[in-house]
Structure 1
């Protein structure tokens, strides 16, 4: 089972990515400025230690200057105190900014996910999306702040140490700089491999998250159908892909440092030899030579970090590229300007045609249907006939390619999306509950401020209070992930109570009583009858016995309306509805007997 690719990620320049990423740092410029100031202080004091070596050795050991002997050790302590304070504030502020950036990116991604169209979630694996929100967003901080710490602090330290080295002995320093172009070439070659490996790692992590999520959510199916070995293979394969990409990343990163260090060591050996020769002819002092070697040795650590920082930058930029692709997804269109107050409930489909992307034929073709306020219309037909597609167009989960849908005579494309959906309640076969209390699941979203009395009234009307009172914490009982602590019938009644509390004039019931035992169905049917009163109701049901009381039954086949009428008239007509009824109940009905 393959997980579909998350996005086709286009090539984006490093400069574009980095400047876009830094825009998320900008709101915290004050803390960022403190961090930069701390880094500057630390970098500025870097050359002081090797600079103190010269007077310490030449003045104390060679010239026997007692003043220098006392002052230089005190200066060393003072330098390190200053460095410590500056380092603390610099590191703390940069981490504060980095975590703020990660939080802002996660909030922005989650806010965007809430506005994306239904089609987007149909095309993407949820585990991959979760990985982008959690793993990738966290990786961004390495490029936005932590890597910047190294670049600023260590670059300034390198400049300061080079300045001191040039002051001490410009000839040896120029010789040392020969290694610079070679190191730059190594970093450039490694950068491309690091970015590719990071992108591969992130995609593989998303796939692995998806496999884990499916195994957890479908654990009953896995156990009953003996899928443990299959799921284990899936996880091992995805985990191995993560390992391979991680090792490619590690190989590129690991090769960069030793190559750089070998180049630096060659130059260091040459410098030590030439400095020794200069010392023999009196061109340098002992203190000057020790100071030069100390500064050169101190130069190796920031250079090493600067060579490694490219690894972190590429990983962070690869993560940023993935994060920005989520943020760049277009939200579902809401170009409506008309605010729909409480609707009367008239819904009309005018020659509506809709085709899913990549489908060979339309899911709905030239469908026209007018439903009056308060009317209950049952949608019947074989699987794939277009029933669910039809009702999904009403709240604008999808948009028809042809035709119009009107609510109270107003084209729904002209309506504000929030006002349209405020007039619609949905109860489906797949009941979705949140891992929260029963009360919070009933009074969800716009109804979260409902009073206790209103919640209890809705639960009573949904025939749910009987079982709620028997629970240890009543309305405050946690239902578990997706209502796992409740039975199917109990979850269904909570969904009905949620719809009752919303009190919307248009109601969509999508297989609301399927897969229930007789006792649960009796309670749910009674609750649905209460819910459907004085509401325009669309009922999708495969169990035809549940829709006999509908005002009208609309039969669809291959995306077209083929029959319309009451239960009795459709049985008498002997068409598709009668055939479906006979198949379901095993009866041979004669038209005269209906």
Structure 2
């Protein structure tokens, strides 16, 4: 169980001074707590001595704590009334002292757990960003979110409350048991007899709780994923009138989660009262056996019996908390196991030990590259070769599923090729620092994504700092979206909503283009980024790009032909392989797929009579 939680030991070491202080405060708090029963037992014995015909009760100084012995020596000569008053005030002061230490105890251990939670969430988030694109194709967003929120919160219950209760439990039981055995070994053994039964019960039930907790956490991830997908795709759900179907799907997942959660709650509901029952049994044994001893021996130390009853009652909360602590540890272990699954996942795309910074201007070479998507088995590229010189403009054309987007993702090293090599200035991509490579490429993806921020910040996203107004305006003008942005309620400060939901598809694409242009990288990569704009706007953008791309290297991936741009190379893909290659004129003269597509496009653009 605890093997999964070893991963958080590094945080205990990081906050070792705070943790050590917390342990000391817990022990000090409990030390003051166990002094009160000894003083109470002493007062009861003094009362017993005052009864008619009673004899003095023998006190062995070895039976008491040194501080209590000193206190007894001080008050022993007082009258009974003064003695009771002083002892009452002392017990009150001990309670106040314990309360102060408990306050500072929580300030150290609980606050430490919040620091650990902060560090762990940052660690998980940072690791998520290191993982490659292939990882995100096989894991749902809802599950990723649930692990970073719900699972980390459950682990915090282990590093905070659970750890605090555990230290409190161990220290209080140790102090009480030591005092009890020092007073009467036989009575202690009888009173504490139910505790082994308690230990066995904890072990058996905890095994069940661990399995159920792990299943509940998995179902919660499924439920979160279901909800997240429904919220993200709400427009599709409404347009197809599938609200009822999605509600039914959510209800089924929710019902499964409810059943397993209730099952876990039932186990815990039996568990916790059982702990209290066993502690209560010890109290009854103490009164029964102790009372019998007192009846058989009138000179028996009655204060000892009272002291034992107080000790047992003091143990009621910590012993009953064993169940709560064990449950929190079990849940935390199940959650940490889920976190470890991701934290121990190494990204397949990493910097090589000898990776270097390579200036990227052009001279990009794909040589006999083949690639298959591992999660689907689809062979996206087959022996693909392409050379792009510095300053060249290359058009990659093909039908949907022909492998065009894969070329962009391989160049950005979201994936590594299965066969062949990709080099820049003669250096393989694997020998280049990832961040330095991607910093030098402005990429407009096919699937446009805008953040829940204002328009200006979305355009400035790829820059180390927010772009100036002039930079924003110029990039937006090149992307033919400046006028539309200015017509928005707050201009460039307008919030675009989640994933840019407040903008049209064409506006989102053009904002994404502006984001790439403001970066002013030497290499630009456009992946079918004009599919949602009309012909007139497309022509404006292409003309603007013609001026912007002067002296820059550009690869434009599309399924249609841009006649107003001069391309040094045009590559036609089909089923991941090159079927045609050449300039515009060369491909027209070859009368193949490109020529057919060009004639079809031109005829569609001709005005009707």
Q: TM-score, normalised by structure 1?
A: 0.91
Q: How does 1:40-55 map to 2 (within 5 A)?
A: 40-55=27-42
**CA deviation string 1:380-409 (max 9, x = no partner):** 222221111112111111101111111122
Give the drift of 1:578. 4.2
SS of equivalent to 2:28 = helix
Kept in 2: contact 1:166–1:173 (CA 8 A): yes
Matched with 1:57 is: 44
Query: Which of 275, 283, 293 is the matching residue for 2:309?
Result: 293
Determine whether 1:327 maps to 2:343: yes
Q: Is the 8 A contact 1:440 1:448 kept in 2?
A: no
Which string of whole-angstrom CA distances, capped at 9 and with x for unpartnered residues, describes residues 165-205 of structure 1? 22343222101222222111111112222221221122112
Distance 1:469 1:264, change over 3 A: closer
- Conservation of the 8 A alpha-carbon contact between 2:286 and 2:305: no
Corresponding residue to 2:473 among 422, 442, 456: 456
Compute the displacement of 1:365 (Å).
1.3
Q: Quick one: distance in 2 between partners of 1:339 and 1:168?
A: 73
Question: Which of 212, 234, 249 pairs up with 1:234?
Answer: 249
Out of 426, 437, 447, the residue aligned to residue 443 of structure 2 is 426
Aligned partner (choices 528, 533, 536) of residue 553 of structure 2: 536
Of 509-518 and 527-536, more deviation after overlay is shown by 527-536
Indicate the residue corresponding to 2:460 in structure 1.
443
Counterpart-to-counterpart distance in 1, 2:599 and 2:198: 81
Match of 1:307 in 2: 323
- Could you tell me whether the CA contact under 8 Å between 2:368 and 2:383 is conserved in 1? yes
Shift of 1:424: 0.9
Are positions 1:38 and 2:25 aligned together? yes
**What's the CA shift string for 1:528-569, capped at 9, x where partnerless?**
334433222222212335687433321111211111123444
Question: Which residue is equivalent to 2:373?
Answer: 356
After superposition, the Cα gap between the structure-2 partners of 1:118 and 1:161, relative to the gap in structure 1 and judged at 3 Å, is same
The equivalences for 1:69-84 within 5 A come to 69-84=84-99
2: CA distance, partners of 1:565 / 1:117 = 34
Distance 2:378 2:565 in 1: 31
Does structure 1 conserve the Cα–Cα contact (< 8 Å) formed by 2:142 and 2:222?
A: yes
Name 2:382's counterpart in structure 1: 365
Superposed CA offset, 1:480-515 (max 9, x none): 222222222322222222212211122111111102
For 1:557 and 1:362, locate their aligned partners in 2 and report how far apart those are by CA, in whole Å.
Answer: 12
Count of aligned positions: 574
Corresponding residue number in structure 2 for 1:573: 590
Matched with 2:174 is 159
Structure 1: stretches of 5+ with no match in the other structure: 1-13, 588-594
Query: Which residue of 1 is the match for residue 127 of structure 2?
Result: 112
**21, 24, 36: which one pairs with 2:11?**
24
Aligned-partner SS, 2:11:
coil
TM-score under structure 2 length normalisation: 0.88
What root-mean-square deviation, in Å, do the aligned CA atoms of Structure 1 and Structure 2 show?
2.3
Partner of 1:252: 267
What residue number does 1:94 align with? Answer: 109
Q: 1:230 to 1:467 in 2, by over 3 A?
A: same
Secondary structure of the residue aligned to 2:361 is coil
Does the C-alpha gap of structure 1 residues 575 and 460 become closer, same or farther in structure 2, counting only changes over 3 Å?
Answer: closer
Q: Do the aligned residues in 2 keep the contact of 1:168 with 1:292 (CA within 8 Å)?
A: no
Deviation per residue, 1:20-51 (Å, 9 max, x gap): 31211222222222221221112212222322
Q: Given that residues 216 and 260 in structure 2 are in contact (C-alpha distance below 8 angstroms), is that contact kept between their aligned partners in structure 1? A: yes
* In structure 1, C-alpha distance between the alignment counterparts of 2:550 and 2:251, rounded to whole Å: 54
Residue 391 of structure 2: aligned partner: 374
- What is the distance in 2 between the residues matched to 1:538 and 1:44? 74
What is the CA deviation profile of residues 209-245 of structure 1, one whole-angstrom value per residue up to 9, with x for unaligned ones? 1111111111111101011012112211222232223
In structure 2, what is the Cα distance between the partners aligned to 1:260 and 1:28? 33
Secondary structure of 2:33's counterpart equals: coil
Tell which structure's C-alpha radius of gyration is larger. Answer: 2
User: What is the CA–CA distance in structure 2 between the aligned matches of 1:547 and 1:214, rounded to whole Å?
Assistant: 41
The farther-off stretch of 170-179 and 97-106 is 170-179
**Residue 428 of structure 2: aligned partner:** 411
Aligned residue runs from structure 1 range 66-215, under 5 A:
66-215=81-230
Is the Cα contact below 8 Å between 1:554 and 1:564 reproduced in 2?
yes
